[in-house]
Structure formats: structure tokens, C-alpha cells
Amino acid sequence: MSRRIRRRIAAPASTAAAVLIALVLSGCGAGFTALTNTQFVPGNGASADLGSIHLRNVLLVQDPSGDLTELHSAFVNTGADDILTSVSVQDAQPVSLPGGAVDIPPNQQISFGPNGTEILVTNLTRQPGQFTHIVYQFRNSGTIVVNALILTPESANS
């Protein structure tokens, strides 16, 4: 075989080998926990699960004066009927639930905030941009603590 023919065969073969090695190594480097392999909701609200109770988009929206804060969240119950018996927010006055408790029926979404039941938090000593703990107590499912972000109305709507 002549030298010219060997060069014509060797150049594309070595290029193809280099591309194949680069593809294999870059794919293995990410592993099974790559960020592009993880599903998440791109929002400010926190999510948590307590058995068949699923909390979504949990956050606090504080008015500019800092005197009044509204709790925003959504619950979905995929199990038996349950009741939210209390909510408490770290560094705030006790929270009053409408009617003293909120029924969480199965296979329905319950919303707190602008599109649902209004739950107000007073005298929260933390500021927008900080996090605080919200404790939800359910009659059947138990207790869950969610670390929620405090936002201003402008940042909550953006």
C-alpha cells in the first residue's frame, strides 16, 4: 500500500476515533445524578410530601410594611380524607385557620393564597429574601416542617 493511501485512511479513522472517545467520556462524566437528568419545578415555592399529602409552592408573601404576610401553598391529598388542624410560622404570631381547621379531601387540590383560602401571618420578624419554617399539623398524617422563602408581592408575581 502506498504512503498516500495510508494517509487517506489513517486521517479519517483517527478523527472518528477521537470523536468517539470524546463522546463516550463526556457521557460517562455526568453520571446518573446530572442536573439535566433531574426534574424540578423552576419556582420560588418549596415542595414537601407527608405520606399522601403533597405540599407545593409553599412560600410567604410579605406586604411592604412588614406587618402582614400571606401564606401561599397548594395541597393535594392522594389518600384518605384528612384535616389540617394547625399552621405555625417560626418568628411570627400564631396563625388562625378559617373555621379552626381545613378539610383536605382526597383527590382534590386545596389552595392557600390569592386563588384560595386566605391565611394571614402577623408580626413576622424575618424579611423578604430570608427563609423561615412553617409547621403544618394534620389530624391523620402528622406534622411536617417546610423551609419557605419570604417574598415581596412584586417578586412573588414575577
| Model pTM score | 0.72
pLDDT of 28 > 70? The answer is no
The residue among 85 and 26 whose pLDDT is bigger is 85
For residue 59, what pLDDT band results from cuts at 50, 70 and 90?
A: very high
User: Which is nearest to 45 in space by CA: 155, 142, 138, 127?
Assistant: 155
pLDDT digits (tens, 9 = 90+) for 1-16: 555 555 566 667 777 7
Contact 59, 149 (CB under 8 A): yes
For the chain, the domains span 3-37, 46-156
pLDDT of 136 > 70? The answer is yes
Q: Which CATH number fits domain 46-156: 3.40.50.2000, 3.90.1150.10, 3.20.20.80, 2.60.40.1890?
A: 2.60.40.1890
What pLDDT score was predicted for residue 16? 73
Three cell numbers written together for 78: 392522594
> What gap in Å lies between CA 22 and CA 28, rounded to an integer?
10
